[in-house]
Structure formats: structure tokens, C-alpha cells
Structure 1
Amino acid sequence: MSLETVKIAIADDHPLFRTALIQAAKKSLPDSQIIEADSFESLLKVINDHSDLELIFLDLNMPGNDGFTGLTRIRNAHPDIQIVMVSATEDPHVINKAISLGACGYIPKSAGLDEISNAIDVVLDGETWLPANIDIMEDENSEATEIAEKLSKLTPAQYKVLDMISNGLLNKQIAYEMHIQEPTVKNHVSAILQKLAVNNRTQASTLFQKLKQLEQ
């Protein structure tokens, strides 16, 4: 990987690990521009403020990121941004699910600076980086892959409506939160049910809730 300028967001609520990721990124890409976020909401602001963002390091369990909902939300709205999941969890099942849902890499927090730097090079070269001795198990992650494929069909607005449905909000409340008309919400809901191949809001909510359970 050439030492070009790359804009990177590091989203983690642990300052020490953010520092480690910054050091690793600077080692691999000394001219990179790095922006920090300590919550998922602050990360969303970073994404909105920086349209040329290329790479995100996303903590699996940071505030505001329930399970894999953060990963799928960003992948849905910004498919061109590469996302590397970081976590203290080293369970191969969790790692495989992250890849199945669209992550381009998974870095355990036990990784050293050289290992993280190598992961950055691999990901920016368009390949998937996994810890040593971890293999992608296709059959095991068929459910995660199916969910990812269905969610990828939603527009960002529809994804947001689905998120609110899963939190129990009614159409009127969703309309208020999104500053749109209630008939527009109803149209979104109809499209969501069709794209997810479900019959009602409860089934749609259940499918979305599985994202929060996939790390278990």
C-alpha cells in the first residue's frame, strides 16, 4: 500500500485502544488523517461531516452500538466505506458473523501494533483481514448472511424506520422523530415488509432484533 492520504475514523470508547489504533495507522499510513469518536452517535456525525471517509474501526460494544446494528446501519447507508470491527471478544463465531454482515476485517483488542498495521494494509488493498487461525465458515453464518442481504435492500430512511419499529415506536412517533408525514412512514413500512419478505411489523422487528443477538 502506498503512503497516500487516507481518512480514517476510529470509533471506540476506550481512549487507550484508540491511541493504539492511531499509532498503528500512522505506522502504516503516516500521512493519514484520523478522526476519533467515543460513541456511535458521535461516529455518525463524523461520517456525515466527512464524505471522503474511507475506513472505520468500529468497536463492537461501544455506547449506542447494539450488537451488529451499527455495522449494518453504516453498510446500508455508506457501502463504499470499509469497516473493521474491533472487540475484546475473540470468539470465532462472532468474528465470522461480523464478516458475514459486511465487515472487511476483525481485530481483537489483544492484537499488537504490528498486527493492526498489517490489518490496515490488507483491508486497504481490498482484502479481508482476520486473526491467525480463524477461517470463514460459510454454512454457520447463513442466517447472518441472509439478514445482511435483506437489509442491504433498504434505503437509509427505511433502515431508520425499521430501527424505530424494533424499538416499539408507532407510525405517528416515527413521523415526529424523522420530521416526515405519517403517510410517508406507512409507505416506508410497506416497502420494508416487502423487501424483508415478512408479513407484519412484529416479524420485521424480530428480524432486526436478531442483529443484537448475533454476538451471543
Structure 2
Amino acid sequence: MARAVIADDHPLFRAALKQALSETLSGDVLEAESFPALQELLERERQIELVLLDLNMPGNQGLTGLTAVRNLFPDILVIIVSANESPDVIRRAMAFGASAYVPKSAPLPMIKEAVEIVLNGDNWLPEHLRQTPANEPDAESEDFAYRLEQLTPQQFKVLSCIADGLLNKQIAWELQVQETTIKQHVSAILRKLGVINRTQAGVIFKDMLRAGEEDSNPQSFD
């Protein structure tokens, strides 16, 4: 039975990471090369406990994938494995529910250490980031993360569509529900986020989550 998924669009990185994790995790380690593929796996493989998530894989922009997994699959732990080492991005990722943030430049033994610590119930950051601003609380992100947690999975999907600029009618078609249902969801979203209109909700969602564009060059896995 699979316990983990490596979600990254670099085949060589996935292969190296999979080999390393096979010594740490029992069962299969699955792979996803896009965020839609990851969602399909998580829907199908309900025993998954851990996702190692790239911030900038196809279908994922910044921290939107992290928040989607945390909202739709709250029992699954997420480790961000990214080339982006911006303290602001790391701070936001941890605020939005990541259990660890691992630079792609990290050697494989360090990634294994992060996985072991996270599966034992603790959060993890590499040593050089623990005493930096990346490890300081981000009150604004933590507040927004708390508000996002109040959304139902369907409301989260509606908010994502709003942020993409879709109208209620388009969202209703996308989610295969009545437009009146979407209007009810929108009202609930505005109330839970504490904003006055859908435009504000979409802008905040983008500003808070769509950070973390990373270098697309091949990574080192020493």
C-alpha cells in the first residue's frame, strides 16, 4: 500500500527522491507530474499519508496546491520541496499548513530526515533556516490560513474559481451544480473570509497564495 506521493514535474528528481524514500517508507511511493494528477491519486488512494509537493509544477501556482491539499485532504501531511528559498515564501508555506520546507538543493539524507521527523508528528526546517525570518510567525498568513480552514471543500473550489476570474454561471458549470448553489457558497465565503465582495476575496486569495515561483532548471540531488 502506498503511503506517499512525490508531486514534481522533474522525472530525474522524482526518481532520486523515490529511491531515497523507499528506504524510509514501507509500501509504494507514487509519483505525480502535475497537480491534477496528484488530486486524482489522492482521491483514489485513500491510504496516502504524505505528499512531497513542488510549488511550481503544472497545475499548481505557488501555495494554492498546498492549501488545496490541506483543505480537501486534511489528514494528509505536506512537505514542500522547492528550489525557492525565499524566507517570505517559507514563512507563508508553514503558516498555511506545510509540515516541512525542504530546499531542492538539500542532500537526500536531509530530505529523508525531514520525512522521518514529519511522520513522527513534528515540523521541520533545515538548520540554516531555523534561526532566520523564515522561522518567525506570519500573523497575516496565519489569520488567512485559519479563515481558509473554515471553508468547506466545495467552498474552497468556488473560491479558487473566483480567483481565476470565473463568473457564477461558469463556476456552476465547472462544478456541475445550480447557479443558486454557487451564490450561496459565495455568500458563505465572503462571511468566513471577512471581505465585502467576491473581487476582494479573489485578490486576497491570489496575493496570499500565488507566491513561490521557482527556478525550473534541473535540480541537484547529491
Name the TM-score, length of structure 2 as normaliser.
0.90
- State which of 51, 67, 91 in structure 2 corresponds to 1:72: 67
The structure with higher relative contact order (CA 8 Å, sep 6+) is: 2
Letter paired with 1:103: A
Structure 1 position 122 matched with structure 2 position 117: yes
Q: TM-score, length-normalised on structure 1? A: 0.92
State the SS of the aligned residue for 1:72: helix
Cα drift, residue 213 of structure 1: 4.0
In 2, Cα distance between the equivalents of 1:111 and 1:120? 13
Question: Unaligned 5+ residue runs, structure 1?
Answer: none
Residue type of the partner of 1:56? Answer: V
**Number of equivalences:** 209
Q: Would you say the 8 A contact 1:23–1:113 is kept in 2?
A: no
Quote the residue 2:196 is aligned against. 199
- 2:220 maps to which residue? none
Partners of 2:162 and 2:210 in 1: CA distance: 17
Mapping of residues 13-92 of structure 1, within 5 Å: 13-29=9-25, 31-92=26-87
Cα separation, 1, equivalents of 2:158 and 2:19:
38
Give the conservation status (yes or no) of the 8 Å contact 2:2–2:45. Answer: no
1:56 Cα deviation from its structure 2 partner: 0.1
Instruction: State the match for 1:178 in structure 2.
Output: 175
**Percent identity of equivalent pairs:** 49
Measured on the aligned residues, the alpha-carbon RMSD in Å equals 1.4
Paired with 1:57 and 1:211, the residues of 2 have a C-alpha distance of 21
Report the 3-state secondary structure (helix = DSSP H, G, I; strand = E; otherwise coil) of the residue aligned with 2:74: coil
Can you give the 5+ residue segments of structure 2 that lack an aligned partner in the other structure?
A: 214-222
User: Hey, what's the Cα distance between the residues in 1 that align with 2:127 and 2:84?
Assistant: 14
Supply the AA of the counterpart residue of 2:136: M
State how far apart, in whole Å, the 1-side matches of 2:203 and 2:41 are: 30
What whole-Å deviation, never above 9, does each CA across 1:164-190 have from its counterpart, x for those lacking one?
Answer: 111111111111111101110110001
AA in 1 matched with 2:195? V
Distance in 2 between the 1:196 and 1:39 partners?
29
